[in-house]
């Protein structure tokens, strides 16, 4: 995979509106909140609950969910290590655009590789990327598995499943670590406390 664009006949266009101007209009700081964790850890549940709370507070927020993205933007990608990296690269670029637009963008992706998450962080200005490790033990994730994915992974029906037949590299130094065995409202409050001084 190339580090830069394939085409050499392009020039980055710069608009006349600054990020600070957008934030002034919206009345809040823009940021990417990156929820990472195993399947069943509660990433999507938490991200959507935080989105709802932020919108009720008057914050422009939007969730990019891993499964939802694979229905459209990334429908051409599977779950090989290369495809997982490309999945996260693409969504990282989308997050950076959302963040630049003045939004609070919340993501819910397993994003199993630390290098991929670090690459997404590097796209953002300092302090505009918050990594949230949605930390639930594997046994808890398996108990929550309403889709039956873990059982299929253990029988070999689903190859390359994070935490079973493919690696998951837990964050070593996330901005937040959320234990989702606690009530959802407590988890939401922890995220909001980080976002709203």
CB of 35 closer than 8 Å to CB of 108: yes
Q: Is 41 a known active-site residue?
A: no
132: nearest Cα among 87, 75, 165, 179: 179
User: Residues 111, 122, 165, 181: which is the catalytic one?
Assistant: 111
Catalytic residue set: 111
């Amino acid at each position: 995979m190339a580090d830069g664009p394939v085409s050499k006949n392009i020039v980055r266009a710069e608009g006349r509106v600054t990020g600070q101007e957008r934030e002034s209009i919206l009345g809040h700081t823009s940021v990417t909140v990156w929820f990472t964790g195993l399947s069943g850890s509660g990433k999507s549940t938490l991200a959507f609950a935080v989105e709802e709370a932020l919108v009720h507070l008057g914050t422009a927020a939007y969730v990019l969910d891993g499964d939802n993205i694979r229905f459209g933007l990334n429908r051409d990608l599977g779950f090989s290590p290369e495809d997982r990296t490309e999945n996260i690269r693409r969504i990282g670029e989308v997050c950076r655009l959302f963040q630049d637009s003045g939004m609070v963008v919340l993501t819910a992706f397993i994003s199993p590789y630390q290098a991929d998450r670090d690459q997404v962080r590097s796209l953002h200005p300092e302090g505009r990327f918050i990594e949230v490790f949605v930390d639930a033990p594997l046994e808890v994730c398996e108990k929550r598995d309403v889709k039956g994915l873990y059982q299929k992974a253990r029988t070999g029906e689903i190859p390359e499943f994070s935490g079973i037949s493919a690696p998951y590299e837990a964050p070593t130094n996330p901005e937040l670590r959320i234990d989702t065995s606690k009530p959802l409202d407590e988890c939401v409050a922890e995220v909001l406390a980080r976002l709203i001084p």
